Amino acid sequence: MSRNAPLRRTLSRWLLPLLCGWLLAQSGLAWAAVPSSFANPGPRARVVTVQDADALDAFRPRPAVVRAMVDRGITNLTGKSSLVAAWRSLVSTQDIVGIKVFSAPGPNSGTRPDVAAAVVEGLLAAGLPPKNIIVWDRETADLRLAGYFDLAERYGIRVAGSAQAGWDDKSYYETEVIGNLVYGDHEFGLKGDRIGRRSFVSRLVSRDMTKIISITPLLNHNDVGVSGHLYGLATGSVDNLVRFEALPERMARAIPEIYALESISDKVVLNITDALIAQYEGGERGLLHYSAILNQLRFSKDPVALDMLSIQELDRQRLAAEAPTVKPSLDLYETAALLQLGVSDLKRIQVEKVR
């Protein structure tokens, strides 16, 4: 269990609403008069950005270049001199490692299979047996269409959908918001006073994996800014999500609280933002004509910092393209920071560039 887990539960259940209410009540104060060391307390985040101008060829990744980028990112992030030592500082050869991808937009706008393949090759080189590596997302159909079953066959690893693995009735997120259950949800078809108030964690996440590596694309989301690490892992891990999607304020609270569950966040050891391409419009649709080539991969142990940098980058690309402005709610990331999931203050994110 993480040493921060009890504090996260306390914040989530009663202290977080009080803090949010207090902050809103104080919004009229002259914050400019408050010393910066007091007004912006908290830790700093570290992000390693690897860039290579040769990473893409006509929007398609060059596998050898991407593999070298991943190798540089891991060794620089961990501070290890060898690739094997770098990976073994994150996982052991006995771990069952789940590589979480975002596959619904397809292989061009979602997590690119070549990036996931480079991570797989690194884990194999570090001595993990192929059967101990699982590439996963919510739906197996999306994984298949994005090419991940081909990747699994190539390396002898596993590929799995969290929704198809079934739900763990002992691991769940509960709130008073009642959902309209759909087919596939754990409590679909059941009746009772408490039915619909819980979102159950997939058994794939709660029971089958010991470590998680999250790889998300730099892809916009109109409500939360980016289909990033917080959104991707939280929505990919639980059922009964429809109840949060209607109102942004519900999502802003639910996503970080789901992510903070011990069966999810305590297993995350690495986050990689696939910033080879930044798609600033379109959401889960693959629209490369609303994209910019960045040729970057970004590495951090802090998912909040990576997501905030992604939102900033997408804003920059929309401005450069004179595209319509998007104003997502950033309350989700402030809540995540309160839950100690990471750093949401851009001024406290240290970016190290590696070429």
Helix and strand numbers, DSSP H then E, in the chain: 15, 13
Query: Does the structure show a pLDDT above 60 at 40?
Result: no
Domain membership of residue 334 (yes or no) is: yes
The percent of residues in the chain predicted with pLDDT above 70, rounded, is 88
- Residue 271 inside a domain? The answer is yes
d(CA 78, CA 90): 8
pLDDT at 111 over 70: yes
pLDDT at position 8 is 53
Residue 23's contacts (CB-CB under 8 Å, 6 or more residues apart) are none
In this prediction, residue 42 has a pLDDT band, given cuts at 50, 70 and 90, of: low
Model confidence over 195-243: pLDDT tens digits? Answer: 999 999 999 999 999 999 999 999 999 899 999 999 999 999 999 999 9
**Residue 12 maps to a domain:** no
User: How many structural domains is the chain composed of?
Assistant: 1
Question: Residues of the chain with pLDDT > 90: what percent?
Answer: 79
Quick one: average pLDDT of 28-43?
Answer: 45
Which range, of 232-236, 284-288, 305-309, averages the lowest pLDDT?
Answer: 284-288
From start to end of 9-165, where are the E strands?
A: 45-51, 56-57, 60-61, 97-100, 133-137, 158-161
16 within a domain of the structure (yes/no): no
Query: Which range is most confident: 12-21, 36-45, 220-229?
Result: 220-229
Q: Does residue 37 sit within a domain? A: no
C-beta separation of 291 from 278 below 8 A: yes
State the residue range of the domain holding 241: 44-354
List of E strands, 194-325: 198-202, 211-221, 225-226, 268-279, 291-300
Of the candidates 197, 231, 243, 234, which has an alpha carbon nearest to the alpha carbon of residue 329? 231
Assess if residue 247 is contained within a domain: yes
Q: Residues 6 or more apart from 73 whose CB is under 8 A from it?
A: 48, 50, 272, 297, 298, 299, 354
Does 27 map to a domain? no
State the pLDDT confidence band at 41, using cuts at 50, 70 and 90.
Answer: low
**Mean pLDDT score of the chain:** 90
pLDDT at 246: 81
User: What is the band of 16 on the pLDDT scale with cuts at 50, 70, 90?
Assistant: low
Indicate if the pLDDT at residue 286 is higher than 60. yes
Contact 78, 90 (CB under 8 A): yes
pTM tops 0.85: yes
> What are the tens digits of pLDDT across the range 131-152?
999 999 999 999 999 999 999 9
Instruction: Give the CATH number, domain containing residue 154.
Output: 3.40.50.11440
Band of pLDDT at residue 289, cut at 50, 70 and 90: confident
Q: Each residue of 20-30: pLDDT tens digit?
A: 544 444 444 33
Average pLDDT over residues 237-264: 94
Q: Which residue has the higher pLDDT, 323 or 13?
A: 323
Q: Let me know: does 277 contact 288? Beta carbons within 8 Å.
A: yes
Q: What does DSSP assign to residue 31?
A: G
β strands within 21-132, DSSP E? 45-51, 56-57, 60-61, 97-100
pLDDT confidence of 179, banded at 50, 70, 90? confident
Statement: residue 39 has pLDDT above 80:
no
Q: Confidence class of residue 328 from pLDDT cuts 50, 70 and 90?
A: confident
pLDDT at res. 32: 36
Residue 323 has pLDDT above 70, yes or no: yes
| Calpha distance 272→218 (Å, rounded) | 10
Average pLDDT over residues 310-327: 93
Is 178 within the bounds of a domain? yes
